[in-house]
Structure 1
Amino acid sequence: MRVLFLNTSDSKGGAAIAAKRLMDTLRKEGIDVSMIVRDKATDDPAVIKIRSSKWMNKIRFMYERLGIFIHNGFNRENLFAVSQANTGVDISRYNEVKRADIIHIHWINQGFLSLKDVQRLVAIGKPIVWTMHDMWPCTGICHHARDCVSFMSQCGGCFFLQSKKERDLSTAVFQKKQQWIFFEENITMVGCSQWLARKAKISALTKNHRVVSIPNPIDIQQFKSYSDKENCRRRLGLPEHKQLILFGAANVTDKRKGIYYLIDAINRLLVVDPCLAEKMGIVAFGEAKAEFVNLVKIPVYPLGYVFDVSQIVALYNAIDVFVTSSLEENLPNTIMEAMACGVPCVGFRIGGIPEMIDHKENGYIAAYKDADDLAAGIDWMLNKADRDELSRNARRKVEENYSEAVVAKQYIQLYQRLLR
C-alpha cells in the first residue's frame, strides 16, 4: 500500500508537525508513505519538495494574500484567518501521485495547492483522504468559523472580511469547492477531533461524504515523564523552587491565543494573594513580545522557539502546569505533548480541548472566555488537586487514545476499506 501525504510544510506549524508524526507512525507499521511539500526543512528522503523556485513560492503566497487584502477593504485584520486557494502548483503528473494508491491531503494553504490543483487530484479517481486540521475544507474561506453557521448552507456576508454582501469572496470560494471538488464521491473527510468531524457532518460541502474522527498520534516513548524536575529546570535555566506555568504559541500575543485572558487570570489570583508574585512564574515559548512580558505581574521566563525534541520534553518536565487560553483550537499538539509527559493542563471549553482534558481528572476545563474560571483552574491545579494523580491520569489518557499504535490502527483500517 502506497500513501501520498500532501502538506504545505513538513515541520512548520501544528498541522505540519501532526502530519509528519502520522507519516512516521505509519511507516513504523510497514506502510509506504511519502509526502509532497512546498517547504521542506527535514532531511527525510521520503519528503519531496515541489519543483518550484523559492521566489515563485513567495509570489504565489503574496498573490493569495493580496486578493484577501483587497476583498477586506485593504485592511490587514484577519489576513491570515482566511484562505482562498486561488494559486498553487499542479502536482497531478508527479510520479509520486501516479504511484500512490491513496492520496492523503492535510493542510495545503498559502500557495501550495489551489482549488484547481485539488480538483485535478480528485479527478484522477484514486481514494482521497482529507485530514482536517482546521475548518477550512468545510467552509468557504475561514479556518475557524467561530459562531458563524453559514457553512451549513452557503457562505456569504463573511465577518472576517467585514462584508455585508450576501455574495462575497467566501461565497465564490464555497461554490468552487462545491462544484470542483466535493461533487466527487471518492473523498473521505477525517476530523482530528470529534468536534471537527461534527462540523464536517453539518457542512453543505462535506455532509454527503464519509466523515470519521481519528486523532493525531504522538510517540509516547519520546514524550514521557522524567522524575528529576530540578535537573530539567537547571538545564533550561529556570528557577528551581517556583511554581511554573507553561504557555506558548508561535506568537503569544496573537489575539486568537487569548493571552489577555491568561494575564487577567494571573492578575486576579494576585489580588487574592499578592505573595504569589514571589511564588509563581510563567515560562513562555515562542515569540514572547515585550508587550506580554510587561503586562504580566509575575516573573516571565521567555525561552524563544524550541525546536529540539529533547529540549521540548525537558521543558514539559520542568513545569507544574500547562495553560492554553486559546480561543480557537482543534486538537492542540501542545496539550497532547504535555499530557504525555504527565503534565496536567488547563484550557477553555472550545474545539477539541474538552475531548483531551477530562475536567478535574487529568486537568481543568474552564468556561469559554471566563478569566475567573481560568484563574480558578490554575489555582486548583497548583494548590488543591492531587497532582500525582492528575499526572498519572494525563499520561494514561494519551497512552489509550493518542499513542502511535492506537492511531495507526485506525488509519490503516480506513485505508484498507477504501482500497477494497
Structure 2
Amino acid sequence: MKVVLVSTYERKGGAAIACYRLKEALLKEGVDVTLLTAYKTSDDPTVVTPFDTRWKRLKNRFHFYKERFSIFIKNGFSRKNLFAISIADSGTDISAHPIIREADIIHLHWINQGFLSLNGIKELCKLGKPIVVTMHDMWFCTGICHHARECISYQNICRECMFLQNPGIYDLSYQTYLEKRFIHSSDITFVTCSRWLQEKVISSMLIQESLVKTIPNPIDIDFFSEGDRSFSRKLMKLPENKKLILFGAVNAGDKRKGVDFFVKALDILSQKYPDLKESVTVVIFGNFKGASFPKLSFPHIALGYLAKEDDILNLYRAVDVYVIPSLEENLPNTIMESMSCGTPCVGFDVGGIPEMIDHGDNGYVAKYKDPMDMAEGIYKTLFCGDYNQLRLNARKKIENCYSEKLVAERYIRLYESKI
C-alpha cells in the first residue's frame, strides 16, 4: 500500500507539523508513505516537492500572490482578514505527478495558500483513487473561512460573510460555496482531529453525505518525554528557583491566540496574590512579527521563535504550567507536547482543548474568554492539590490517546477499508 500525504508546508505551522508527524508514525509501522509539499525545507528523502526547478517555484509563488490579490480585489481592496479566508481559485494540478499516479491512497492535509485550487482537487477526484482529507480547520466545510466562529451559515449555504468588507446574499463566500458543491458528490473520506470539529463538519451541507471519522494527531512520546527539570532550566537559561508559567505559539501575536486574555489573567493573579511576583516568572516563546509584547504584571523572559525541537522539548520540561488562552483551536500540538513532557496545561473551553485537558485531572479548563477563571486555573494548578499527580496524569493521557503507534494504526485501518 502506497500512501501520499499532501501538505502546503513541510513543517511550518501546526497543521504541517501534524502531517509530518503522521508521516513519521506511518513509516515506523512499515507503510510506504511520501509527503508531497509545496515548500520542501529538509533533505528528508520521503519528502518531495513538485516545484523542483526555479521556474516551477516562481509559478507556485505566482499562484499564492494571485489568490491573495484576487481576495484583495473582490473584498473591496481591504487587507482585513486577507489570511483568514481562502478561495482556492489558483493552484497547481498535481494529478499527473508520478507520486500521485503511483499512490493507492491520496491523503490531503492543509493545502491552501496557492498550492491546490478547487479545480486541482477536482482533478484528483477524477483519478478514481481513494481520497482522505484530514481537516485541520473548517475550510473544507465552509465557503471561504478557516474558522467560522459563531457563524452557522455554512450549515446550509454561506452568504453575508462576516470576514468580508461588503457582505451580501451573493458575496464571495456564496460564490465559493457553490463552487465547492462537487465535494458533496465526491468519494472523499474526511478526518477531523477532534470531536468538536467533527460536530461542526457533519452539520455542513457540503459534507453531510460523506464519511467523517475522528482521529487525533500523533506525537512521538519517546522524544517528548519527562526529563530533569533543573537540567532543562540550565540549558534554556531560565531561573531555577521560580515557578515558571509558559505562553506562546508560532505566531504568538495573533489575536486568536488570546494574548490579551493571558495578560488580563496575569493582572488578576497579581492583584489577588501580590506575593507571587517574587516567586513566579512568565516565559514567552514565539514570533510577534514586530509587535512588542504587552506589559506584564510579572517578571518575564522572552525567548523568541524556537526553531530547534530540542529547545522546544527542554522548554516544556523546564516550566511548571503551559497556558493556552486561544480563542480558536482544533487540537493544539502545543498542549500535546507539553502534557507529553508531564507539564499540566490551562486553556479555555473551546474547540478540541477540553478533549485534551481533563479538568482537574491533568490541568484546568477555564470558562471561555474568562480571564478571572483562567487566573484561578493557573493558581490552582501551581499551588493547590497534588501537582505531581497532575504531571503523571498529563503524561498518561498522551500515552493513552495520542501516541504515534495508536494514531498510525487507526489511519492504516482507514486506508485498508478504502482500497
Q: TM-score range by the shorter chain?
A: over 0.9
3-state secondary structure, aligned to 1:378: helix
Q: Which moved more, 1:270-279 or 1:238-247?
A: 270-279
Which is worse superposed, 187-196 or 170-179?
170-179
Give yes or no for the alignment of 1:129 onto 2:129: no
Deviation of 1:36 (Å): 1.0
Distance between the aligned counterparts of 1:107 and 1:294, measured in 2? 31
Instruction: Give the match for residue 83 of structure 1.
Output: 86
1:310 aligns with 2:313: no
Partner of 2:246: 246
The question of whether the paired residues in 2 share the 8 Å contact of 1:218 and 1:404 is answered with yes
SS of 1:252's equivalent in the other structure is coil
**Is 1:217 aligned with 2:218?**
yes
Within a 5 Å distance, the mapping from 1:173-322 to structure 2 comes to 173-179=176-182, 181-184=183-186, 186-226=187-227, 228-288=228-288, 292-322=292-322
Structure 1 counterpart of 2:338: 338
Task: Give the TM-score, by structure 1 length.
Answer: 0.97
Match of 2:102 in 1: 99
Matches within 5 A, 1:392-411: 392-411=392-411
> Is 1:372 aligned with 2:377?
no
Contact conserved, 2:281 with 2:300, CA < 8 A, in 1? yes
Determine the C-alpha separation between the residues in 1 that align with 2:234 and 2:4: 43
Residues 267-314 of structure 1, C-alpha deviation per residue, up to 9 Å, x if partnerless?
011111223222212111111478553421212211111122222111
* Gap change, CA 1:138 and 1:294, over 3 Å in 2: closer
> What secondary structure sits across from 1:231 in the alignment?
helix
Please say if 1:171 is aligned against 2:183. no
- Partner of residue 348, structure 1: 348
Q: Post-superposition shift, 1:257?
A: 0.6
C-alpha contact (below 8 Å) 2:60/2:92 kept by paired residues: no
Does the 8 A contact of 1:188 with 1:210 survive in 2?
A: yes
CA distance in 2, matches of 1:182, 1:241: 57
Alpha-carbon contact 1:258-1:326 (below 8 Å) kept: yes
Residue 399 of structure 1 and its aligned partner are, at CA, apart by: 0.4
**Are the equivalent residues in 1 in contact too, given 2:263–2:294 (CA < 8 A)?**
no
Q: Is the 8 A contact 1:325 1:347 kept in 2?
A: yes
Q: How much identity, in percent, do the aligned residues show? A: 50
Q: Is the 8 A contact 1:288 1:302 kept in 2?
A: no
CA contact (8 A) 1:322 1:338 kept: yes
2:57 aligned to 54, 57, 67, which one?
Answer: 54
- Cα deviation, 1:325-377, whole Å, max 9, x if unaligned, reads 10000000000000100010000011000100000000100011001111110
Q: Please tell me the residue identity of whatever aligns with 2:100.
A: V
| Aligned residue in 1 for 2:149 | 146
SS in 2 for 1:131: strand
Q: CA separation in 1, counterparts of 2:193 and 2:68? A: 27
Secondary structure of 2:249 counterpart: strand
1:114-166 Cα offsets, whole Å, 9 max, x none, are 00000000111111000000001111111100000011000010001143311
Cα distance in structure 1, aligned partners of 2:290 and 2:247: 15
Segments of 5+ residues of structure 2 without an aligned counterpart are: none
Letter in 1 for 2:304: G
User: Given the alignment of the two structures, is residue 72 of structure 1 paired with residue 75 of structure 2, yes or no?
Assistant: yes
Alpha-carbon distance between aligned partners in 2 of 1:168 and 1:410, rounded to the nearest angstrom: 40
Write out per-residue CA displacement over residues 32-53 of structure 1, whole angstroms, 9 at most, x where no aligned residue.
0011111011211121112353
1:250-275 residue CA offsets vs partner (Å, 9 max, x unmatched):
22221111100000000011111223
SS of residue paired to 1:206: coil
Which amino acid counterpart does residue 232 of structure 1 have in structure 2? Answer: S
Structure 1 counterpart of 2:327? 327
Does the aligned pair in 2 maintain the 1:127–1:187 contact within 8 Å?
Answer: yes
Pair 292,258 (structure 1): closer, same or farther in 2 beyond 3 Å: farther
Residue type at the aligned position of 1:250: V
Residue 73 (structure 1) shift: 2.2
* Counterpart AA for 2:338: A
Q: Which amino acid aligns with 2:185?
A: F
- 8 A contact 2:50–2:97 mirrored in 1: no
1:290–1:224 CA distance, 2 compared to 1 (3 A): same
| Contact 2:118 2:180 (8 Å CA) reproduced | yes
1:386 equivalent in alignment to 2:386: yes
Match of 2:415 in 1: 415
The Cα RMSD (Å) is 1.3
CA–CA distance in structure 2, aligned partners of residues 272 and 219 of structure 1: 39
SS in 2 for 1:293: coil
Q: C-alpha separation between the residues in 1 aligned to 2:167 and 2:417?
A: 44
**Poorly superposed stretches of 4+, deviation over 3 Å:** 288-294
Decide whether the 8 Å contact of 1:9 with 1:16 is kept in 2: yes
Cα distance in structure 1, aligned partners of 2:28 and 2:163: 42
C-alpha separation between the residues in 1 aligned to 2:212 and 2:269?
43
Greater CA drift, 272-281 or 394-403 = 272-281
Q: How many residues end up aligned between the 2 structures?
A: 416
TM-score normalised by L of structure 2:
0.97
